[in-house]
Structure 1
Amino acid sequence: MFDDASVHFGGGKEQRNASLGLMQALQRRFPNIRLLLVSGPNILDGALKEIMAKEMHYVDIGVWEYDQQYLAFINQVGGACGFKRSQLANDDFTKILLDKAHGASGALIQILQTLARNPIYKACPSLPVESLRNMWKF
């Protein structure tokens, strides 16, 4: 997961360049790496787009940051992971994730970890083959 430095770290040029360098190093070292971007749409217009050689999955951080539309964010991330909205509509599940999360990327990490650890989600036959959950063998 790539967390946009301009959102999470305040936009320092040095931090952003270090993040881009890290992405390049990871791609060279691990050619089969799978990437999920959490950012504003403008990140795809810059240097990151130039170094991305593979298809990426993308979640717009704006749905979290503007008017605290966390449910829209949860649904968007869940969709990127291959889950139906109805599966993520459980208020208790969402509340636990958000209680433990710190911002949008924290919520995303918490979602992925919870889905990975929860055995009842592993046997869902309705996920498309290309879903992140299947790609990452959750």
Structure 2
Amino acid sequence: MARRTTRKNPPSPRITEDAPCPCGLTARYGECCGRFHAGSAAAPTAELLMRSRYSAFVVRDEAYLLRTWAPQTRPAEVDFDPSMRWTGLEIRDTGDGTAFHQAGTVTFVASYIHDGAPGALHERSRFARHEGAWVYVDGEFIE
């Protein structure tokens, strides 16, 4: 889900603690992905890490994205495209990725509007444990 551009990062959209969480779960942002972004909790499963990373793209939380990226695949920075607005997340499938696993996959569709046109990113992401915490390793785009 990393979209690299040469543009300066735009300001983050404002999402309050009481707003619905962008990840699509029914909890409020502060009780859902916001707690992971703030560092007060760690995502206990690969799916929740995927959801929190999607929400981090929505709110443009570069620090969280880099912190939850596997060191061997982590870029130096995340550049957010100012003409991209993420509009929804649908989890299609998960494989492993629970407290009992060291690796897992999450297949998802992330909807967006880019330069006024709707689109979707379909990806199968790989996650692994690094120093006890789930991290994003890489992803394969699905046509």
TM-score by length of 2: 0.28
Q: Relative contact order (alpha carbons < 8 A, sep ≥ 6): 1 or 2 greater?
A: 2
Normalising by structure 1, report the TM-score.
0.29
Q: Which has the higher strand share?
A: 2
